[in-house]
Amino acid sequence: MTGKFAMFHPEYGILISKVGFWSGNASEYMKDKINAKGEHMTEFVADYLMKYEINEELSYTISNIASALIILLISALSYFITRKIIVRILETFVAKTHSKWGMILVENKVLERVSAIVPIFVIHAFAPVFPAFADWIQRLAFCAFVIVILLAVDKLLSTVDDIYRNYEVSKERPIKGYLQVLEIIAYVIGIIVIISTLIERSPLLLLSGIGAATAVLLLIFQNSILGFVAGIQLTANNMVKLGDWIEMPKYGADGEVMEISLHTVKVQNWDKTITTIPTNALVTESFKNWRGMQESGGRRIKRAIYIDMTSIRFCDEEMLNRYRKIHYIQRYIDNKITEIEAYNQSMKMDLTDIVNGRHLTNIGTFRTYVDNYLKNHQKVHSSMTRLVRQLEPTEKGIPIEIYAFLSETDWAEYESIQADLFDHILAVVPEFDLRIYQNPTGYDLRRLHAGIDN
């Protein structure tokens, strides 16, 4: 074979000899043997066809096509055997050994990626069957080999990160950033090797040329390089993907990601406008991604109602008798009264003055009612945080904040359920002898002027 491309250069001698490709004159004997057998096979098929009065050119075309199909069949068969049999045997062995590292290798499908090397070897080995194209077939096979190795290295580095995360030190000293740098270096080296193979030049010569042009390339393709690197980071870190709901107030973005390109990310806002964000901005600046909420199956409610402080009081007997009729707090009131009476008796409190001892308040009873109401609501997520808490008093009254998660994440349905919840809560506030704080309106002033009591 007369090929003199980069993979047969002395610089590649050690690498090619280790991975099984021919280098220099080390395997000339084997090359000649396979070449002779390949030519013999094609000539045999062509001669056989010419016996049936098929012209010579068509006979050789058919024989080449038949040879190509046979080689493809052999490579497919070798891939099937490797992927479906050998890899499965290795995975079964790893499963039986219960090796944590081995299981992570299997889960990340490192062996499956490496198995793609086998059909590439087959195609490379049978390239001399087609003398006119053998040179290019072997170049392309070598490029495919490099690509498979790069993909396997990518998965292997991810496996290293997964294994490292099993150790406590990973929380203080993460290595994902360093592994990503190694990934970039590996891809750069792989691309240089592929290009040098295709153009039949030494990778060292290519590197020297790239070094001289680096400053100019960085200036011309600055935005493209930043977008490319940002795209890699977005993908590697799974920061954003198509269909994600993101918020980025600086760019006026609040909607679903509809396109991710080299330079821009397009977001369709909920008002159907489209915002274009530089891809690099998603890496260098902060944005909110709602994917976690959607995947968790719970959407948060965090809203407060303001209680007029002048309506807060201790509960008397008449109030407690009315509250006992409310289903969600019957048991609470009975238990609390028993607990409070036992405490007051043990402390020998003089209950002629209501200030002494412990007493139930209407606002505390109201908080318990709201908490039990949410607890029993079928649309409130039972396994996520649920709080009904009193915040610091303000000039608008005392905020009672509801902090809970709905099991419905769809926007329209979520808003409908949230509105129903607060409709009910606002409606029951007067039943606990409380008032909602509201600034005076024109209606209130007219009633005051008319001397009408509320």
Q: To 5 degrees, how large is the angle CA 176–CA 181–CA 187? A: 125
* pLDDT recorded at residue 314: 93
For 122-141, give the DSSP string: HHHHTGGGSTTTHHHHHHHH
Q: Which of 428, 427, 216, 243 is nearest to 323 (CA)?
A: 428
| Residue 451 structure tokens | 């001397």
Cβ(329)–Cβ(323) below 8 Å? yes
Find the DSSP H helices in 165-202: 169-172, 176-198
Angle between helices 176-198 and 222-236 (to 10 degrees): 120
Q: Which of 190, 107, 193 is nearest to 155 (CA)?
A: 107
* pLDDT recorded at residue 26: 36
For CA atoms 440, 446, 448, 449, give the dihedral sign.
Answer: positive
The phi and psi torsions of 324 (rounded to 5 degrees) equal -65, -20
Angstrom distance (rounded) from CA 236 to CA 233: 5
β strands within 291-424, DSSP E: 299-307, 387-390, 398-406
Instruction: Tell the residue number behind the tokens 């069949």, with chain if given.
Output: 73
Angstrom distance (rounded) from CA 346 to CA 353: 17
Three-state DSSP class for residue 269: strand
Give me Rg for the CA atoms of the chain.
Answer: 37
Q: Which of 121, 188, 180 is nearest to 150 (CA)?
A: 188
The phi and psi torsions of 288 (rounded to 5 degrees) equal -105, 130
Q: Which of 365, 380, 369 is nearest to 297 (CA)?
A: 380
Beta strand 299-307 pairing with 398-406: antiparallel
* pLDDT recorded at residue 9: 41
* pLDDT recorded at residue 235: 76
DSSP state of 357: S
Q: Is 200 left (phi over 0), alpha (psi -120 to 50) or beta?
A: left
Q: In what order do the strands lie in the sheet with 288-289?
A: 274-278, 264-269, 253-260, 245-248, 288-289
For CA atoms 349, 352, 354, 355, give the dihedral sign.
Answer: negative
Instruction: Tell the residue number behind the tokens 């070449």, with chain if given.
Output: 35
* pLDDT recorded at residue 56: 59
* pLDDT recorded at residue 433: 93
Those residues of the chain that have pLDDT short of 70 are: 1-61, 63-64, 101, 171-174, 177, 207-215, 217, 451-454
DSSP state of 82: I
Cβ(51)–Cβ(95) below 8 Å? no
